[in-house]
Structure 1
Amino acid sequence: MIHRQWFDEGGNLGGRSNGLKKIFKILRKRIYLILSLTIVAIGITAALSYFVITPIYQAQTQFLVNQTVNDQEVYARAQQLETDLQLINTYNVIIKSPAILNKVIDKLDLNIPTEKLAEQIIVSSESNSKVVNIKVLHTDSEKAVTISNTVAIVFKEEIPKLMSVDNINILSEAKISKDSSPVKPNKLLNIVLGAVIGFVISVGFALLLEFLDTTIKTESDIEELALPVIGLVGVFPTEKNYKSRKARRA
């Protein structure tokens, strides 16, 4: 059986000059397959984003670390600021510790392990800032707000006992909003990624199908091999056509 030669002696696809032309020709030939697979990928991604993946809501509470200055303070104000900034890292760890979260669970009567609740909490602070953000991710927007505010309140109540300091002021509390939208999943981003991935996969699949199909089907396939065409085989007539042709001759 004669097979089409897709690669030249150097291992390149049809040579450097016409390699891209062949690829575009294949893509144009398989355009409906590529579009179909891409649309299927978009549909699957949209269905997962809208109907399967559970939406996640976020609530945020902020508090300020601010040490009180008095006349007997032995440190300068600049040193005091540096001390507060260093304490923030310690506070970030304490907030997610069982000493705080166990009391939050008891207050809200949550049926959840401490470790699981800690995974839903994100504590962050900007560089050289004394403002700490407590973010809570939850499938229920109202519970996210409640947990976020409760964590801040419990922390403010317990930190004087844990570190003998009283320098926490809550700046803003999380609020319940009827118009709150989930932060996860990002439906539009997922659909765009699904379209891109589906397109890439469909293009790869189309090229694979074409390269696996090495049989010669048309005269142009032979011409691509730079081989002379010795002759052509015509289409054999069917029995019906043969009888009609014989009748005409009679």
Structure 2
Amino acid sequence: MEEAISIKSIFTTLKERWKLILITMVFFALISGIVSYYLLKPVYAASTQILVNQKHSGEQVDSLQIQTDIGMINTYSEIIKSPVILQKVIDELNLKQNTSQLGEKITITSKENSQIFLLTVQDSNPANAVKIANGVSEIFQKENKNIMNIDNISLLAKAKLQENPSPIKPNPILNIGIATFIGLLIGIGLAFIMEYIDNTIKSEKDLETLLELPILGSIQKDS
């Protein structure tokens, strides 16, 4: 019985405070929309495909060598983001950033047991993203021969600037959806807090609980 009363009181509170909940949801959605569309800078991505494959003189391909090439991808990921490579990229492309800032823009991804990995660069300017991605890839391919004494890097696909590039972030629709859900939760929380601190008497039951005395009669409001 108490559980039924409790559930009923929850729905009663939500019904009485629905305007507060709705206003909170709309407020959070509006703030998220303003931030996503007008304050956050769009970020674009450009990627190159790099193959790790040591050149073989014979026709047979050594499976052990292939596994070695795959295992080298983690090492190459570190070399690509090293100051040795990034500083050459900065100098050659005349970038106005240091090696740490440039390294934060670069992401290396690869699939399991694949000799191909993607070098992705994120930038607020799509043309810069393409230029940096290609620059890093080409300089890495050239310098790796001297660093590792191995000629096993091939550039399969360069980054290209699309006619109408689309930013990868922010995602305004997703942000607004998340903000609206958060607003819903906060609105519900505020509704229960306000209900808890509200000491006004709304019904005969409230009066009976407050005075700890039974209600002997009531006067009906004349309509």
Same fold (TM over 0.5): yes
Q: How does 1:50-89 map to 2 (within 5 A)?
A: 50-71=37-58, 77-89=62-74
Deviations, residues 35-78 of structure 1 (Å, cap 9, x unaligned): 111111110111111011111111111111111112499xx711
Corresponding position: 1:229 with 2:215: yes
Corresponding position: 1:41 with 2:24: no
Output the amino acid matched with 2:214. Answer: P
What secondary structure does 2:169 align onto?
Answer: coil
The alignment-based identity, stated in percent, is 40
CA shift, 1:138, in A, is: 0.7
What secondary structure does 1:179 align onto?
Answer: coil
Q: Distance in 2 between matches of 1:186 and 1:47?
A: 12
Larger Rg belongs to: 1
Deviations, residues 188-245 of structure 1 (Å, cap 9, x unaligned): 111110000000000100110011113323335336789532455899xxxxxxxxxx
Q: Distance in 1 between matches of 2:115 and 2:62?
A: 14
- TM-score between both structures, scaled by the size of structure 2: 0.91
Deviations, residues 166-194 of structure 1 (Å, cap 9, x unaligned): 11111111111132111111111111100
Match of 1:175 among 155, 160, 179: 160
Which residue is equivalent to 2:193? 208
Q: Distance in 2 between matches of 1:150 and 1:57?
A: 16
Corresponding position: 1:133 with 2:118: yes
Q: Distance in 2 between matches of 1:212 and 1:116?
A: 51
Output the amino acid matched with 2:162. Answer: S
Mark the runs of 5 or more structure 2 residues left unpaired by the alignment. Answer: none
- TM-score between both structures, scaled by the size of structure 1: 0.82
Which residue is equivalent to 1:248? none
What secondary structure does 2:206 align onto?
Answer: helix
Aligned length: 220
CA root-mean-square deviation? 2.3
Q: Distance in 1 between matches of 2:194 and 2:92?
A: 62
Moved over 2 A (4+): 217-235
What secondary structure does 1:165 align onto?
Answer: coil
What secondary structure does 2:170 align onto?
Answer: coil
Q: Distance in 2 between matches of 1:98 and 1:158?
A: 12
CA shift, 1:103, in A, is: 0.7
Mark the runs of 5 or more structure 1 residues left unpaired by the alignment. Answer: 1-13, 236-250
Corresponding position: 1:194 with 2:179: yes
